[in-house]
Structure 1
Amino acid sequence: MLALKSTENMTGVLISGDFWDLDELCSAIHHLTGKEDRYMDWQGARMRLLGVTSEIRYAYQGNRNIDFVANGLHKEMMKSHDFIAPENNIYYSTEILWPELVFSFIALNDFIQLYKKYEFANDFDLHIVNVRKFQALISEAWKDILTNEEYAVILSAVYSPETTVEEYAIQYIDMLNLSYIEMTKEQRTKSFSSIVQNIVMENGEYEAIKKKVIAEASKTKSAIHDLRFNVNYPEQIEW
């Protein structure tokens, strides 16, 4: 079963599941985001989402965390059915930074709408259902961090028709990720709502970053999602 919970220090989220849970999620996101250059104005968002799926894929290939989870089998059951099998299943997991996952949540809303529009899909499409389940798990994790009032405001904002990641300056997410890593657990708890709102609702800080990105990209006539700032993530993160 796919599961998601905030890490001990609230640095990010632990995403876990068995091989098929995680593979199903990655497959769903890949189907929704489409082929490269399919949605040009969402290329930056697509790149960030594929970065998340790559991390999840590393996990279920055995390159991140591995746990053993009881599957409900016991000796009496095996004896009754005359077979021997493991009493634990292997679960794989990996951590994703909170700002990254908040952005992913919003980006998935856009790609669901694009997928429905151009692939003539509906809400019962299996890939959409799997992604909505992932979003539901993220939303449930927010409840443990936010007040009821904050949760209601943010949920309304993320599903607003005006909220979009079209032509988003994804460099801003790197900036939020790095500043979030440097915070203490208490600071993360206090600022979580404002960080989510900064991603959902474009503010002056974001506009300044985007203006800088556009100016730099115009020098080489590059797309804004192709511009790379010198960003160095720490090798070790206290999750």
Structure 2
Amino acid sequence: MGRSIVTGTTTNDTVSVHIDLFRYPVRYVKVYLGGEEVGTFHPISDFHLRNPKGLPVKVVLVFSDGDKHETILMGGRIQRYFNRVDYQPGDILVACDNFGDFPPPGYMGHSAIVLDQRSIAEATTSMPQIRVATIREFIDLHPKYMHLRCKNRQAAENARDFAYEYLQMYHDGLQNGDEVPEFSLTPLISLDDPYNSIYCSKLVWLCYYYGANINLENDYFLYSPEDLSTLENDDRFEVLYKHPEFDFKLNS
């Protein structure tokens, strides 16, 4: 992208932000301070924000085509994450928050596996319970998330391929009136059983287990989004982005 779209500096208790509006079709700007939304504004090239507590400042640019660019300023350092170019098949998205914030962030979360630069496969409580959704939808509903990537690209693509096969099996079953896996957190069905239960992080686990022959370690009876978050300490994976407030309160 060349020069940065958003640049910022911190002086004493003030954050100064510059946005390059000359080269990019920005529709509006959203600003967050310490996870709390400050407001949504028309495009403005320069602004200053009081920040006496030194909280993270996030600037989200929404472009004319709906894509977004996120910049986080923390302690004088800029962390950038440009969503439209940074997803590959088999990437994992795991969030510590929930739609509607119930339960509160850190207690359940959500997860999905990336199919391509715009799409994910996920398991949800609503029908169809195994579905394709957009990455943008995931991030909009779950802003406190981590983006993980398997370092073995062939393994990641194989995991993605299994996700496609599993989606096809599920939707064929729905159309034919056959039994399909239901969303369930019961401990009575084993983690490696793909036919009788499904939930969000189990879907990711199955994709890597059957598609890539990678066993993601599970500490308790369910493989939870919190378990997926521990992949940041797994040498087979790398963290591409982690929200400053991403955190799980419980080891599940």
Same fold (TM over 0.5): no
> Please, what TM-score do these two structures have when normalized by structure 2?
0.25
TM-score by length of 1: 0.26
Bigger strand fraction: 2
Higher helix share: 1
